[in-house]
Amino acid sequence: MEQVLTGSCHCGAAHWTLTGDPGSITACNCTLCRRYGALWAYDYEGGRIRLHGKTSTYRRAGKSNPALEIHFCPVCAGVLCWRGLRLEDDGRRRMAVNLRLAPPDAVADLPIDRFDGLDTFDDLPPSGRCVRDLWF
């Protein structure tokens, strides 16, 4: 049976599903991700990630060509995902869901990859930590 993870905003008006292995989860320290405290699991729009319910979006002001938009619940403001605004070379559009909206026991043992989105834009060396280490 294929794994399906779900994540819901606080009020339940919007949620996401991710079908299949979520892989390792990214913790990023960029100016946006560190403010949201999000942990990201990736795929593509129309692929294994599905959004449900109404969302509002945020694009960084002052950027003439922003790379992504953040989707959040218009009722409780829970951050559900980001959606890439540029197409990949294969024509697909990247998305990432916020794993912090999933039930803790469903994601506790997923490994975390750290990404330096603030300074170097590089992956950082593995720390051996998993989601459980950040939550519990």
Q: What is the mean pLDDT of each run of 10 residues along the chain (136 residues)?
A: 92 97 90 90 94 94 77 97 93 95 94 86 85 81
Count of domains for the chain:
1
Give the number of other CB atoms < 10 A from CB of residue 39. 24
Segments forming the whole domain that contains residue 107: 4-135
> Phi-psi bin for 25: left (phi > 0), alpha (psi -120 to 50), beta?
beta
CATH number of domain containing 20 = 2.170.150.70
Residue identified by tokens 């912090």 is 100
The sign one gets for the Cα dihedral 29, 32, 35, 37 is: negative
Closest by CA position to 16, among listed 50, 44, 43, 47: 50
Residue 2's pLDDT is what?
Answer: 82
Residue 123's pLDDT is what?
Answer: 83
pTM of the predicted structure, to 2 decimals: 0.89
Residue 13's pLDDT is what?
Answer: 98
